[in-house]
Amino acid sequence: MEQSKKALRYERIYAQLSALMPSCRTPVSRMASICAVLHHKMDVFFWTGFYLLEKGQLVVGPYQGPLACMMLEKDKGVCWAGLGKGMTIVVPDVEKFPGHIACDQRSKSEIVVPLFNRQGMTMGVLDVDSDRLEAFDQTDARYLEKIVTLVYSN
C-alpha cells in the first residue's frame, strides 16, 4: 500500500480505537478490540494478535487469524527478540530471521511491537504476520507502537 494511504488508514483506525477505549478499561478486552479492528482493516494482515508474558512464558492472548502457537519456546523467535530488546522488530522475510517460530507456513513477513504497561513494565508483544514478503515498514512500526499504548491508557 502507498505510504500516504497506509498512514491515513492507520489514522482512522487510531481514531476509532481511541474513541472505543474509554468504554472498557480491561486490558484483555482492549487487546481483543485492537486485533479485530486492525485485522479487518489492514489488507495484508494475515495473523494479528498478542503474546503475553505470564510466569516467564510467552502465551497467546487475543488474536484474529488462523490457529497459532499457544506458547512460544523461550528466548527463540521474533516475539522473544522484540520483548528482550524492548523494541519493535520488522522482519521482511521470516526465513532469514534466525530462530523464527513458524506457527503457520503461510506467514512470510512479520512485525513485533512490545507492549508496556503504565509503569513501563513489559507485558508482552503485539505480533502481526503477513502472507506477503516485506509487508511491514517504519509506517507500520510508528502506528502500531502508538496503537498498543491504548491498551493501558486512561
Edge-to-edge order in the sheet of strand 109-116:
71-72, 57-64, 47-54, 122-130, 109-116, 89-91
CA distances from 36 to 5, 45, 86 (A): 20, 11, 24
Select 20 or 69, whichever has its Cβ closest to ligand SME: 69
- Least separation in angstroms between residue 74's CB and ligand SME is 11
Least distance CB 121 / ligand SME (angstroms):
20
Q: How many CB atoms lie within 10 A of CB 64?
A: 17
Helical axes 138-148 vs 27-41, angle rounded to 10°: 150
Residues 114 and 133: beta-carbon distance below 8 Å: no
Q: Please, what is the minimum distance in Å from the beta carbon of residue 36 to ligand SME?
A: 16
Nearer of residues 29 and 64 to ligand SME, judged by Cβ? 64
Minimal distance in Å, beta carbon 25 to ligand SME?
26
Binding residues for ligand SME, per CB under 6 A?
47, 68-69, 72, 77-79, 100-101, 103, 107, 110, 127, 129
* Helix, strand or coil, per DSSP, at residue 119: coil
Cβ-based nearer residue to ligand SME, 8 or 133: 133
Nearer to ligand SME, 7 or 59 (CB): 59
